[in-house]
Amino acid sequence: MGFIDKIKERAKSDIKTIVLPESMDRRTFEAAEVVLKEGIANLIILGTEEVIAENSKGLDISGAQIINPYTYKKTLDYIDVFYELRKAKGLTPQQAKDTLMNDYMYYACMMVKFGDADGVVSGACHSTASTLKPSLQIIKSRPGTKLVSGFFVVVVPDCDMGADGTFVFADAGLNQNPNSEELAAITESSAKSFQMLVGEKPICALLSHSTKGSAKHPDVTKVVDAVEILKRDYPHITADGELQLDAAIVPEIAKSKAPGSKVAGNANVLIFPDLDAGNIGYKLVQRLGKAEAYGPLTQGMAKPINDLSRGCSSSDIVGVIAITAVQAQNRHIM
């Protein structure tokens, strides 16, 4: 049984309710039909009856709860609480109403805030910023979390590296240029995410264009300093760096480039030095290696709010919904 099949089975064991705010996108309904048919999650789809009818033609979404924000009984409560949350930032009651009625991602986050849903999946036709800004304003980070970050679960076919071809790539979706402390925090969160979702021991490689001093540059020093912070603040995490990608995942190369490292050649959690590297890296593996790539998923949020690549397929959305449901089951360790 592959990674996503295992996740689906876990999702079915304790059904959660996930909100889908992108009723303007056909892929939302294609995914919803599969999720409902397989019993992966309960679904709430936001939108007017006309838009939903138009975009779901020929698909069976009868098991979903359709909520029209313009007529739903709790809309005024959501607006009032959103205003209270943001009035110190200058938000007026009218702006609160306009925001929720014109941006369903905000509305979806308020449903989660109220406990009317367990998580949100969006981003098929919206940017990462449009997806994550509302969640950071409304849901906020989990207590004790130093940094909310983004990651992908990447499953490479016919691969004996990582955890039978399964990896976590981070941060590949949110933080542009993390410093050493932030890289350490991303590593700590990513180790938890890997353990929770994959169920195997996380082995974390902090990546660079250099391996163990082969190059000198402030970008390399940043990674080396992050490893020292991990050793000091998170000694229970198996992590090492700086490592080039081949030294991190190929045992034969690890022996020559990083002899004695417990991580080199065995890594299944790949921590990229910046967002450019992480985003380019996951897309290279996805497109050239024919890998499954689920995300960008968020870690460190109080409740699961997950993004999608705008290039995603409906099957990608199904996978992210299942992952979101499992995160909701394990919210205390997200």
Q: Among candidates 278, 273, 169, 257, which has minimal Cα distance to 222?
A: 273
Residue given tokens 């098991």 in the structure block: 63
CA distance 28 to 185: 33
Going by pLDDT thresholds of 50, 70 and 90, the confidence category of residue 4 is very high
The pLDDT of residue 132 = 84
Of the chain, the percentage scoring pLDDT greater than 70 comes to: 99
pLDDT at 165 over 90: yes
The pLDDT of residue 172 = 85
pLDDT at 170 over 70: yes
- 272-290 average pLDDT score: 94
The pLDDT of residue 42 = 97
Enter the tokens of residue 95: 């702006």
pLDDT at 333 over 70: no
- 39-54 average pLDDT score: 94
Q: What is the pLDDT of residues 74-111, one digit of tens each?
A: 999 999 999 999 999 998 999 999 999 999 999 999 99
Cα–chain center distance at 148:
10
Going by pLDDT thresholds of 50, 70 and 90, the confidence category of residue 329 is very high
- Beta-carbon contacts of 235 under 8 Å, excluding residues fewer than 6 positions away, are none
pLDDT at 239 over 60: yes
CA distance 175 to 169: 13
pLDDT at 268 over 60: yes
Going by pLDDT thresholds of 50, 70 and 90, the confidence category of residue 332 is low
pLDDT at 30 over 90: yes
- 152-173 average pLDDT score: 93
- 257-272 average pLDDT score: 94
pLDDT at 127 over 80: no
pLDDT at 334 over 70: no
pTM, entire model: 0.90
Q: Which residue has the higher pLDDT, 311 or 67?
A: 67
CA distance 208 to 242: 6
Q: What is the pLDDT of residues 171-204, one digit of tens each?
A: 988 889 999 999 999 999 999 999 999 999 999 9
The pLDDT of residue 296 = 86
Cis upstream peptide for 21 (omega within 30°) = no
Q: What is the pLDDT of residues 99-109, one digit of tens each?
A: 999 999 999 99
Q: Which residue has the higher pLDDT, 330 or 169?
A: 169
CA distance 195 to 204: 11
The pLDDT of residue 46 = 94
Cis upstream peptide for 33 (omega within 30°) = no
Alpha carbons within 13 angstroms on the beta-carbon side of residue 119 total 31
The pLDDT of residue 143 = 82
pLDDT at 152 over 70: yes
